Amino acid sequence: MNTEPNGQSKKISGFSFFFYFLIIVLVVTVIFKFSEVQNILSLFRQIKPIWFLLAIVTQTTTYLFTACNYYSILSFYKYQGKFSYFELFKTSIIILFLNQAVPTGGVSGNSYLLYRFNQKKIPSHQGFSIVILEIFTYFFSHLVLLFLGLFYLYIFIPGQFSTRVWVLGIFCVFIFIFSNLF
pLDDT in tens, 111-123: 888 888 888 888 8
Residues 20, 23, 29, 32, CA torsion sign: negative
Q: What is the largest CA-CA distance in the chain?
A: 82
Q: What is the pLDDT of residue 12?
A: 62
pLDDT at 73 over 50: yes
- For residue 3, report the phi and psi dihedrals to the nearest 5 degrees: -125, 150
Q: At what angle do helices 124-156 and 107-119 cross, to 10 degrees?
A: 140
Residue 106 maps to a domain:
yes
Residue 102 maps to a domain:
yes
Q: What is the pLDDT of residue 93?
A: 92
Residues 6+ apart with CB under 8 A from 173: 143, 146
Amino acid at 67: A
Q: What is the pLDDT of residue 54?
A: 94
- β-bridge mates for residue 3, sequence order: 9
pLDDT at 94 over 60: yes
Residue 10 maps to a domain:
no
Residue 84 maps to a domain:
yes
The string of pLDDT tens digits covering residues 20-47 is: 888 888 877 766 666 677 777 788 888 8
Percentage of the chain lying above the pLDDT 70 cut? 76
Residue ranges of the alpha helices (H) in 77-123? Answer: 85-101, 107-119
Instruction: Tell me which residue range forms the domain holding 160.
Output: 47-181
Residue 168 maps to a domain:
yes
Residues 6+ apart with CB under 8 A from 161: 153, 154
Q: What is the pLDDT of residue 89?
A: 93
| Total domains, the chain | 1
Residue 39 maps to a domain:
no
Burial class (CB in 10 A: 0-12, 13-18, 19+), 1: exposed
